[in-house]
Amino acid sequence: MITNIKDLEQYEGKTVRLQGWVANKRTGKGLVFLVLRDGSGYCQCVVSEEQVSNETFETAKRATQESSLQLSGAVIKDERQVGGYEIQVQEINILQETVDYPISNKEHGVDFLIENRHLWLRSRKQWAIMRIRNSVKYAIYTFFHERGFIQIDSPIFTGNAAEGTTTLFETDYYGQPAYLAQTGQLYGEAAAMAHGKVYTFGPTFRAEKSKTRRHLSEFWMIEPEMAFYDLDMDMDLIEDFIRYIVTDTYKNCKQELEILERDTALFENIGKKFPRITYDEAVQILRGERDVNGKNSIETLRDDLNEIAQRIGDIKEEISTREATIQQAGVKAGVKNFNQAKVDNLKNELRDLEEKQRNIPQWIDSALNFTHGDDFGGSDETVITRLFNTPIMVYKWPAAIKAFYMKRDEQDSEYVKGVDCLAPEGFGEIVGGSQREEDIDLLLARIKEHQLPEEVFNWYIDLRRYGSVPHSGFGLGFERLIMWLTNVPHIRETIPFPRYYGRLFP
């Protein structure tokens, strides 16, 4: 019988049989340490020359990184180990000896790793990220199921370019043009009129030639839609939803978050009420005209700049000291190499800092000169959310920069009842939502204003023709959410096989 590594605690002191792959190997005299992974976890397996046959010991020495094997041995409790247990090996049987596995335990560049994504998924951090992705997906289903929502699938082939703004993938659909869906929202609205509360959760496609760490061509979206919900109810739901996901992840993915070295401040602050501010207030905060918790956006940025300049000075000094050491006559090879490695690392850090040093003045400039009525850019969102330690809700947006289906504010018709939820620590937008326009005449007027083809929206307009009700919803980018929770630097790491501009394989 085969045991999973995650279940080892049930077998302390007993002999078990494991199967998996060699994640890492270290050797000592008369000893081989194999770190085995089996998909469920990691476990160090010790092969001692004194305790096994010569044949078994030779086999252990032959086991290279990523070789597949089966082994049996006794389960020993050992607090020092990652899973808390290790195996005293008795027998090993190699299934396949791996030669020249491309990914080592040392650092690699993003491009190389993406090229080897099919193998990279085996790595520890990637393993943790995919498990969190799975856990969050399950939590999303649970959250909505517990609240009486029905999960509804929207089509992937659509005939209309929904909001008319973004570039879509065009394809041939039995001789007529069709587009890969960029949102399921309009279909969600139709389903909400059938079920009351629904949500879609599926892949969406954008053909923008974006090359940034926040964009994918194919990504997953969660889009709830609720009949008889106004904007306030929508915001309440967003807040409950985000808090539920974050809390659930903290509770169920402890080991994974540890592997990823995720700062836990987010999880400790998530119980606090999310501040709700209007777009106008957000603009004041951005321009530095209004402080948040005693912090001013512009001053914070200037402090950052000073700190960076300070650090750059320190690094340059350390580099010249170490280089002087290397230059000295009669320096031992070990000392020389050690210092050279330090210098290389420092130079890398220096490059990152100098990039920031170039960027921050632009951020300050963008913040100070922000024009009321514009949409926030990436840096603006960073500047605002840096001042908060919980997600924030920005609502009441200028109508001109939002989609045609958003309902106008009754008191202030230049604004719409839309909301963006921005994640803290500088992360930026994760949710965009709104109350929808339910009046058929107003909706028709908006479609005209936005110069959208009315014919393709006929079915959508029907929803206002027959029993129209106030309703609201929001959209959440699944990968953005995972990126925020795991704090990985690049969205490409949050999906098993990323698709983005220029990338179709593996």
d(Cα 266, Cα 229) in Å, to the nearest integer?
Answer: 29
Q: What share of the chain is helix, strand, coil (3-state, %, to 5)?
A: 40, 25, 35
Cα–Cα distance between 252 and 307 in angstroms, integer? 37
Query: Contact between 260 and RNA (CB under 7 A)?
Result: no
Torsion over CA: 228, 232, 236, 241 (sign):
positive
Cβ distance to RNA smaller for residue 102 or 177: 102
Tell me if 344 contacts RNA by CB under 7 A.
Answer: yes
Which of 337, 400, 449, 458 contacts RNA by CB under 7 A?
337
Q: Does 84 participate in binding RNA (rule CB under 7 A)? A: no
Among 84, 373, 378, 453, binds RNA (CB under 7 A): 378
Residues 382-401 interacting with RNA (rule: CB under 7 A): 401
Shortest distance in whole angstroms from residue 487 CB to RNA? 14
> For residue 486, which amino acid is it?
T
Regarding 294 and contact with RNA (CB under 7 A), the answer is no
Site mask for RNA (CB under 7 A), range 166-195, x = bound: x----------------x------------
| Contact string (CB under 7 A) for RNA, positions 32-71, x = contact | -x----------x-x-x-x-------------xx------
Angstrom distance (rounded) from CA 97 to CA 103: 16
| Minimum CB distance to RNA smaller for 384 or for 491 | 491
Cα 25 vs. chain centroid, distance in angstroms?
31
Name which of 211 and 465 has its Cβ closer to RNA: 211
Least distance in angstroms from the C-beta of 466 to RNA: 27
Question: Based on CB atoms, which residue is closest to RNA, 3 or 339?
Answer: 339
**Residues contacting 272, CB < 8 A, separation 6+:** 389, 390
CB of 148 to RNA, least distance (A): 25
Q: Please tell me whether residue 476 binds RNA under the rule CB under 7 A.
A: yes
Among 10, 212, 264, 306, binds RNA (CB under 7 A): 212
Give the one residue of 91, 208, 281, 439 binding RNA; rule: CB under 7 A: 208
Task: Annotate each residue in 97-136 with x if it binds RNA (CB under 7 A) or - if it does not, as one string.
Answer: ---x-x-xxxxxxxxx-x----------------------
28 touching RNA, by CB under 7 A: yes
User: Rounded CA gap, 176 and 181, in Å?
Assistant: 16
Instruction: Transcribe 16-82 into DSSP letters.
Output: EEEEEEEEEEEEETTEEEEEEE-SS-EEEEEEETTTS-HHHHHHHHH--TT-EEEEEEEEEE-TTSS
Residue written as token pair 């307009």: 461
Closer by beta carbon to RNA, 295 or else 347: 347
Query: Can residue 285 be called a binding residue for RNA (CB under 7 A)?
Result: no
By CB under 7 A, is residue 273 in contact with RNA? Answer: no
**Based on the number of CB atoms within 10 Å of its own CB, is 197 exposed (0-12), middle (13-18) or buried (19 or more)?**
buried
- Does the protein bind RNA through residue 329 (CB under 7 A)? no
Which secondary-structure segment (H or E) carries 428? strand 428-435
Report the residue from 202, 275, 377, 398 that binds RNA according to the rule CB under 7 A. 377
Does residue 426 belong to the site contacting RNA (CB under 7 A)? no
**DSSP readout, 327-382?**
HSTT--HHHHHHHHHHHHHHHHHHHHHHHHHHHHHHHHHHHHTPPTTSPP-HHHHH
The residues near 464 (Cβ < 8 Å, ≥ 6 apart) are: 437, 438, 439, 440, 443
Asked if 316 interacts with RNA (CB under 7 A), we say: no
Question: Which of 275, 319, 432, 461 touches RNA by CB under 7 A?
Answer: 432
How many residues touch RNA (CB under 7 A)?
A: 75
Do strands 276-278 and 392-398 pair parallel, antiparallel, or not at all (unpaired)?
parallel
Helix (H, G, I), strand (E, B) or coil at 142: helix
- 372 near RNA, judged by CB under 7 A: no
